[in-house]
Structure 1
Amino acid sequence: MSEDWGIVTLPTSGDPEKVAIGRLKAASDMALKYYGTPLVVTTSGGKDSSVCVELALRGGIPFEVQHNHTTADAPETVRFVRQEFARLENLGVKCTINYPAYKGKRTSMWSLIPQKLMPPTRLMRYCCSVLKEQGGNGRFITTGVRWAESSRRKRDRGVFEAFTRNKDKRLILKGENQKPSEVFESCKIAAKRVVNPIVDWPDKQVWSFLQDAKVPVNPLYECGVSRVGCIGCPLARKSKRYDEFRRWPAYEKLYIQAFDRMLDERRKRGKMDGNWMMGGTGQDVFRWWMEEDVLPGQISVDDILEN
């Protein structure tokens, strides 16, 4: 059985705001018709999420807002999301905070690390899949992903997307010259469907829109933070991570404590062979995780994966 997604008319050019709203309206129509639920706008507490929420309000579409509580976000971000949810709920928008779960139980970054027996790394981003990407399952969602953020996103992300566990069956619509039916051609595809309405917006366009619209933004931007995310994210530069731990020293302690519990669990399971010396403390793991000098005999990421 297939569905005719080609009924949706997408704007192809013109004012970036109108184009983005057109994308949201198209996604909203599809969400209502084929899912029977409103479009979900996901918010991380960052500037791009704030733009998407404001565009959805201006578009006059029915929508909900969801936030995935990672447990490793900055306190300022947590407070900002709460304040924004109060504002949006007063406007009649349903807002939901999704709390992370692993193996059927509530979890956090600090309990996940001992369970996974390794720190989150660039290659093993289990934290993202568990803490950030579980919300919105079974719904049509909106994100603030933009090509300007990285060359990888420019290569791999699109305006409309259908993500499946089989990467070979992932469907991407890069631009409005393609029909949505090319991406969502079969109702049999079990996928999370996504619209990224500002995917082609440069940073300048984002800030210009926010300033003109007087949209509330995370106060961290006023402190010089360029991107909002989990504190200590291994995808960030080392200097940025150290800046974050100087600003929020309690999070460094939480990571070290989690690494200590991780080592205890590895010992219990007999996974402390000679390859992983590291002094046997969470502090040593933290130093390794922060990409400091690795002494001979210390474990590599490849060693972790083999164990």
Structure 2
Amino acid sequence: MGHTAARLTTNDPPAAEEILRQGIAQAGGPVALACSFSVEDVAVIDLATRAGLPLGVFAIDTGRLPEETYIVAETVSQRYGLSIEWYFPQAEAVQQLERQKGLFSFRESLENRHQCCAVRKVEPLRRALSGLSGWVTGMRRAQSVTRNDILPIEVDRAHDGLLKINPLCDWSERQLWDYAREQRIPIHKLHRQGYPSIGCAPCTRAVKEGEDVRAGRWWWENPEHKECGLHR
């Protein structure tokens, strides 16, 4: 699509709202948030709503989400008057994977885990991004070693050069939760139970004191491997 990364017009870290505004303007077409209903993603929805920015919202139902994710999704939809566009993995691909490798193959090897994520997340994401000019994430650099070099606005070469907008990239954990409390945004129940990062139920656990925020995701793997393929 020929996008080039935006040059934000400030020497200081730009405000999240300004990143969103400039990213949407540069995309020049429809832009949507990939929403997992984490506190980060709901904060982005709240920011966009308050600023009156045109931002769609889509979510991927992997078939293994915790019940609490569906509960907060309904709350978010009602609070902000959103029509959330849900995407699902191809049924035949899921059936083939489970028949060939069982229900928990993702814990046997990194290759198997990547295959499961490819079926349940990556392929539905490609369909969700079709027709968009840009997409928005709630990623923050402070989350993990795999995210410490993300930019506010970047070109996503893995997804046909779409513009990728990361408005919260500079936010600390404290900034995030200060915003959540000040604006009283809906909070995923598992966040209150020690889950700072939430994905599929079998692949997510609460973190222990002193662990980083993504330690509970695929906890049997090394930190540098803890991405599912949505963000490369």
Normalising by structure 1, report the TM-score.
0.57
Any idea what the Cα deviations from partners look like across 1:45-95, whole Å, max 9, x if unmatched? 111111111111122111111111111111111121122123322xxx442
Say whether the 8 Å CA contact 1:43–1:67 is kept in structure 2.
Answer: yes
- SS of 2:84's equivalent in the other structure is strand
Q: Deviations over 1:109-158 (max 9, x none)?
A: x7633356782243441233332331323421111111111112114x32
Query: Partner residue of 2:166?
Result: 196
Alpha-carbon distance in structure 2 between the residues aligned to 1:290 and 1:211: 29
Specify the code of the residue in structure 2 equivalent to 1:13.
Answer: D
Please state how far the C-alpha of 1:29 moved relative to its aligned partner.
Answer: 1.0
Give the match's secondary structure for 1:125. helix
- The answer to whether structure 1 residue 208 and structure 2 residue 178 are counterparts is yes
1:54 aligned residue: 46
Q: Is the contact made by 2:151 and 2:169 (CA closer than 8 Å) also made in structure 1? A: yes
Question: What stretches of structure 1 of length at least 5 have no aligned partner?
Answer: 171-189, 240-288, 292-307
Alignment of 1:100-249 (within 5 A): 100-101=89-90, 105=91, 108=94, 112-114=97-99, 119-120=105-106, 121-123=109-111, 124-133=113-122, 134=125, 135-139=128-132, 140-155=134-149, 157-165=150-158, 190-233=160-203
Q: Does 1:13 align with 2:12?
A: yes
Superposed, which structure 2 residues align to 1:50-89 within 5 Å?
Answer: 50-89=42-81
The answer on whether the counterparts of 2:139 and 2:166 sit within 8 Å (CA) in structure 1 is yes
Helix, strand or coil at the partner of 1:194: strand
| Distance in structure 1 (CA, Å) of the matches to 2:171 and 2:219 | 32
Higher RCO (C-alpha under 8 Å, 6+ residues apart): 2
State the TM-score, normalizing by the size of structure 2.
Answer: 0.73
Rg larger in 1 or in 2?
1
1:192 to partner: Cα distance:
3.4
Q: Indicate yes or no: 2:35 matched with 1:43.
A: yes
Alpha-carbon offset, residue 30 of structure 1: 2.3
Distance of aligned partners of 1:13 and 1:116 in 2 relative to their CA distance in 1, 3 Å threshold: farther
**Partner AA of 2:12 in structure 1:** S
Pair 1:13–1:131, CA change in 2 (3 A): same
Q: Which residue of 1 aligns with 2:227?
A: none
> Which range moves more in the overlay, 217-226 or 50-59?
217-226
Matches of 1:238 and 1:211, distance apart in 2? 22
The amino acid that maps onto 1:136 is L
Query: How far is 1:226 from its partner?
Result: 2.5
Change in Cα spacing, 1:125 to 1:23, as seen in structure 2 (3 Å) is: same
Secondary structure of the residue aligned to 1:220 is helix
Separation (CA, whole Å) in 1 of partners of 2:194 and 2:58: 26
Amino acid at match of 1:46: S
- What is the aligned residue count? 202
Distance 2:85 2:195 in 1: 26
Distance 1:52 1:160 in 2: 14
